[in-house]
Structure 1
Amino acid sequence: MLTYSFENIASESMYEHLYRCIKQDILQKKLRAGEKLPSKRSFAKNLGVSTITVESAYAQLVAEGFLYTLPKRGYYVCELEQEAPVPAPAPPAPPKRSEGKAPEQRTYWADFVGSSVARDMFPFSVWVKLLRDVTASEDEATLLTDTSAGGIRQLRQAIADHLYQFRGMTISPEQIVVGAGTEYLYGVLIQLLGRHRGYAVEDPGYQRLSKIYEKNDVAIHHIPMDQGGVIPEKLEESGAEILHITPSHHFPTGIVMPVSRRYELLSWASKGENRYIIEDDYDCEFRLAGRPIPTLQSIDVMEKVIYINTFSKSLAPAFRISYLVLPRHLVTRFYETLGFYSGTVSCLEQMTLARFLAQGYFEKHINRMRNHYRALRDKLLAALRQSPLAGKVKISGEQAGLHFLMALDTPRSEEAILQAAEGLDLRISFVSQYYFSAPNRLPHVLVMNYSGLEEGKVAEAVARLCQAVLGEPEAAADPPATQGRGDHT
């Protein structure tokens, strides 16, 4: 039977240590594809640890695609496509409005689509203190100086340290480019990689991303997905050279891309000098069970992955600071071709955020936010279980991030449900709304983004949802007993 030592594991938890040991044996092929692992109970007894420790390690490995389960038979090692990639040889206007005003956006009583953060969750007192410290300690000329295209050194170093500690990414500050939101950085990447390239996106996927690429006059390829993510054969057929994906928590389906599919996509990228993968890690901080899923960038040996993330989800949507991690060979190209740009985030904000990260406040804030969202999610799920929808819904993906899927068993059409919800001042969306092409759409599956839901509105929000789905006014008159909080930019 497998055996591992638990001596000298430092601050690492026992399940994390076991997870790493098994993962390493799979990667080194000491555990081969199809091989059955010991049962949780016998393995725990042999190792002298609790069954929960083994169960947690197995669950993380299943989530990442290293193991799979067969009902009543146990855990088995997945087949991984892990051959080292071979380097490719060197190649030779909107409608006018008479009043001239932007249309007003409707505010809903409860919104399961947009992203927001409870006002009392942002650490204003800490932020104001750090802001004062920066203005008091930094030279005036430094604070008022135009920043470089990549951002100030202090913030890039703090981000690099954070990514090493939290995501296991070993990068240098020079690889980081800071910008005012991911939408701005998408445009930077188009200029860096070329408008004449074909850009592939997930179908279904984040609709605003497609619109941004469209407005930048690039060819867009919508690649269909299966349970592992974008389908490599369809990607190859498209002729695209740039692939934009959300592998750690796909929006909207919640798919966590297994490691075998990640290697397949890295192999695809290695076959062309101008092929790159943009890894969008938009809500990695909010995986509510197990360890964060390792990044695609961390297993990329050919420098084909461009990592992008934002502080909009972790701090607030109005907090417009995001960043790229470029492969080393693209750093020089960035500064040679785009280095003339000024930084788009003020020096004062960058320095304040750098201290917020370096002094541990960000980690504390994320832990607080996780606890808040976990409690909010549990309250919402409890209310659904006690509602008239109980037995008529199937929930999935509730552990992976700030939204989950809810499949409905109802004869009502999606259009009727959406219209009824609108009338109840409830904003909802279906997975089918995020597809570009019509075939194989998932019917009657709601995308439940709860990041902006207020705790005190949970029961009434569920009651209104019941009324919209079931078409029965009495559903709202008998709310659950439990009372009560996806855009990524």
Structure 2
Amino acid sequence: MTRYVTRLVLDGGKKRGARRDRWRCGTRRYAVARRCLRRNSGKLKGEPVLTYPLDRRCVRGLYDQLYGFLRDDIERGAIAPGQKLPSKRTFAQHLAVSVITVEAAYKQLAAEGYVSARERSGVFVNDMGPALRLGSALGGEERYRARSGEEGAAVEADAAGKPCSTWVAPAGDVRYRGGVDNPAGAQPFGGASFAGRLQHCEGEGAEDRWTQLACGHGGSALAVSRDVVDLTGRQGGARVFPYEAWARTQRKVLSECDEPTLLRAGQAQGSLELRQAIAGHLRGFRGMEVSADQVVVGAGAQVLYPFIVQLLGRDRVFALETPGYRRLAQVYASNDVALAAVPLDADGISVEVLAKTRASVVHCMPSHQLPGGMVLPIARRRELLQWAQGAEEGAAATAGAAGLPSAAFRRYIVEDDYDCEFRMAGRPIPPLQAIDQAECVIYANTFTKTLGPALRMAYLVLPPHLADEFRERMGFYSCTASATDQLTLARFIASGDFERHVNRLRTRYRKVLSALVEALEGSAVADRLRLRHVGSGLHFLLEVEGASALQAACALGEHGVAVEPLEAFCLDALCRAYDGSFDGSAGGFGKASVPADSTAGALVINFSDLAAEQVPVVARAFEQAFG
């Protein structure tokens, strides 16, 4: 903490009293505090302020502490909806911190939907909606464990105004997915072939023709040509895998573990050592208090999603976001469940439309939606949890002693925590699972974005009652993931190598993104480009003035850059393709399912496979295509 704590109470702009607590401070530092108090007391006259004990000795940064205090006061109503927060400069002077610290805290609150900035007016608290049965993770100051090392340094660099802060999306334009194996949607082609096959992608039925071109009649993705700059993220992170550290860890596993441990079939939930490592990682990085007994490991998310269907039942309707992950719809439909595609709006999945469907399970990406890129604000998260906590018809009659509906009547949220490791500015957005006390959230994530898709390692975190049911009904399964890979990954996480690897990746991606945005903004066609949801993960949206997304994708393909249009992710045609598995109660989709915030003509720019030396090539392609 600061080596001193100063508390000032203002009444009508006049100093009513002051209490100073000296915390192991020298005479000189205390004298500085006194001068600061006298100087600021005059400047603060007449302006309401808030006082919080910020600890400079704490491993959490000052902005992180301030964010936590403000968030907690907003959550419990101490700061009322509509109330204006102190100006950044005034607040910084009062707390004896830098303006950048206050600004970083305000930005994080805005990213999560707690506050909104009004031009020339200030920052105001948003209405959070009705109260829910939320866990202490949302209301407690210790929602997240302290973070240190490279990640903390990177966050402080953001707060200190380093280059990345210049491209962070504005508060109103705000953040993955974690469970899916590969960002899906249509697979574009490269070079002239790409442009030639898109020449008919205009007019009525363009989306269907794009789908046929991109995915083929069998639904398999086509590879991007090697001589094409790939902005689709389809190459699986060729520069991602930490070969040396992984090989070192695997050698230790092979030399230290006995033969039965390495070669025998594993239990259904996976290696206990790996499940414990995952639980510890989630506790430190995502603020999730889970036990190893709740974790189920599998060889990729596509193997685990059918487990969800078996647990919850095939008689349910599963709701999916549209635009959304195409392969996800294929996996669920292949398991004979009805699908309801729910459109997005400017904030994310529309809970209002979801409530009108017959769905009792929704699969969504609240931390960074693929492909929309938006972050689900806290008010919308509350609405989604409220929907899940609302029992279906007849549930009240079957409620148990805890007041919760029976499993047969519960609604569930499958939280696909896509891209959570790569939020480029501020702290990660809290997962729904960490604030759920109704046991209605199934958390899903993979190591695809951090270690590459070839590793084939994913996991679920089940609510306790579903974890018990999994062991009872599905305990006969053998784990589909390699025992050797599980043990290697467990020790890779426990040793800290995984965290260091992710920090290096985040730093690399941050530099690439900063260079890409700077190059586009400095290009000759910058006035025709509009970037949205930048900094929330490994992709963002880009609109080209005067060109449809399909035309823009075609033009860029002619100049050696492969991109995907947002329309390619719409799930309407795909849902209808599975006879009898489409729930039409959600309404029409197609173009209507594209977010109603002027992104209908957007391109999805995924920079995970982009090298820094390719950035100038991309900028030239934009100039040649649209200049």
Q: CA deviation at 1:103?
A: 8.7
Partner Cα separation in structure 2 for residue 134 and residue 413 of structure 1: 53
Partner Cα separation in structure 1 for residue 260 and residue 491 of structure 2: 19
The aligned amino acid for 1:216 is N
1:75–1:104: structure 2 CA closer, same or farther, 3 Å change rule?
Answer: closer
Q: CA deviation at 1:117?
A: 5.6
2:512 to 365, 376, 381: 376
1:406 to 512, 536, 542: 542
**Are the equivalent residues in 2 in contact too, given 1:394–1:406 (CA < 8 A)?**
yes
2:50 aligned residue = 2
Task: Spell out the pairing of 1:179-328 with structure 2 (5 A cutoff).
Answer: 179-272=298-391, 273-328=409-464
1:48 aligned residue = 96
1:484 aligned residue = none
Task: Spell out the pairing of 1:141-160 with structure 2 (5 A cutoff).
Answer: 141-160=260-279
**Are the equivalent residues in 2 in contact too, given 1:4–1:47 (CA < 8 A)?**
yes
Q: Secondary structure at the match of 2:94?
A: helix
1:443 aligns with 2:443: no
1:79-131 Cα offsets, whole Å, 9 max, x none, are: 11242359xxxxxxxxxxxxx9x996343511111344654542211111111
The aligned amino acid for 1:11 is V
1:428 aligns with 2:563: yes
2:610 aligned residue = 453
**Are the equivalent residues in 2 in contact too, given 1:114–1:452 (CA < 8 A)?**
yes
Q: Secondary structure at the match of 1:220?
A: strand
1:365 aligns with 2:517: no
1:105 aligned residue = 223
Q: CA deviation at 1:69?
A: 1.3
1:30 aligned residue = 78
**Are the equivalent residues in 1 in contact too, given 2:549–2:603 (CA < 8 A)?**
no
Runs of 4+ that moved beyond 6 A: none
Q: CA deviation at 1:444?
A: 2.2
Q: Secondary structure at the match of 2:363?
A: strand
1:137 aligns with 2:256: yes
**Are the equivalent residues in 1 in contact too, given 2:365–2:415 (CA < 8 A)?**
yes
**Are the equivalent residues in 1 in contact too, given 2:133–2:436 (CA < 8 A)?**
no
Query: In angstroms, what is the RMSD of aligned CA positions?
Result: 2.0
1:213–1:120: structure 2 CA closer, same or farther, 3 Å change rule?
Answer: closer
2:474 to 331, 335, 338: 338
TM-score (norm 1): 0.89
1:381-412 Cα offsets, whole Å, 9 max, x none, are: 122122222111111211100011111112x4
Q: CA deviation at 1:331?
A: 0.5
1:23–1:405: structure 2 CA closer, same or farther, 3 Å change rule?
Answer: same
Partner Cα separation in structure 2 for residue 104 and residue 238 of structure 1: 34
1:483 aligned residue = none
Q: Secondary structure at the match of 2:449?
A: coil
1:83 aligns with 2:202: no
1:64 aligns with 2:112: yes
Partner Cα separation in structure 2 for residue 414 and residue 359 of structure 1: 45
Q: CA deviation at 1:135?
A: 0.8
1:27–1:133: structure 2 CA closer, same or farther, 3 Å change rule?
Answer: same
Give identity over the alignment, percent. 42
Q: CA deviation at 1:443?
A: 3.0
1:451-472 Cα offsets, whole Å, 9 max, x none, are: 011222221123223333x2xx
Partner Cα separation in structure 1 for residue 549 and residue 56 of structure 2: 56
Q: Secondary structure at the match of 2:564?
A: coil
1:482 aligned residue = none
Partner Cα separation in structure 2 for residue 226 and residue 322 of structure 1: 29
Partner Cα separation in structure 2 for residue 443 and residue 226 of structure 1: 11
The aligned amino acid for 1:431 is L
The aligned amino acid for 1:449 is N
1:322-370 Cα offsets, whole Å, 9 max, x none, are: 1000000101111122211110111110000001100100110011001
The aligned amino acid for 1:67 is V
Partner Cα separation in structure 2 for residue 372 and residue 231 of structure 1: 34
Partner Cα separation in structure 1 for residue 232 and residue 419 of structure 2: 15
Q: Secondary structure at the match of 1:401?
A: coil
Partner Cα separation in structure 2 for residue 222 and residue 154 of structure 1: 38
Partner Cα separation in structure 1 for residue 416 and residue 529 of structure 2: 30
1:290-323 Cα offsets, whole Å, 9 max, x none, are: 0000111111010000000110001112221010
Aligned pairs, number:
456
**Are the equivalent residues in 2 in contact too, given 1:118–1:454 (CA < 8 A)?**
no
Q: Which has the larger radius of gyration?
A: 2
Partner Cα separation in structure 1 for residue 284 and residue 447 of structure 2: 17
Q: Is 221-230 or 55-64 further displaced after alignment?
A: 221-230
The aligned amino acid for 2:225 is T
The aligned amino acid for 2:72 is Q
Partner Cα separation in structure 2 for residue 428 and residue 150 of structure 1: 38
Partner Cα separation in structure 1 for residue 550 and residue 368 of structure 2: 27
Q: Is 449-458 or 319-328 further displaced after alignment?
A: 449-458
2:66 to 18, 21, 24: 18
Partner Cα separation in structure 1 for residue 57 and residue 320 of structure 2: 41
1:127-172 Cα offsets, whole Å, 9 max, x none, are: 1111110011111111111101111110000000000110100000
Q: Secondary structure at the match of 1:457?
A: helix
Q: CA deviation at 1:426?
A: 2.5
Q: Secondary structure at the match of 2:225?
A: coil
**Are the equivalent residues in 2 in contact too, given 1:116–1:316 (CA < 8 A)?**
no
1:154-192 Cα offsets, whole Å, 9 max, x none, are: 000000000011010000000000111111111211111
1:348 to 478, 481, 484: 484
The aligned amino acid for 1:157 is Q
1:401-432 Cα offsets, whole Å, 9 max, x none, are: 0011111112x443333333334343211222
The aligned amino acid for 2:434 is S
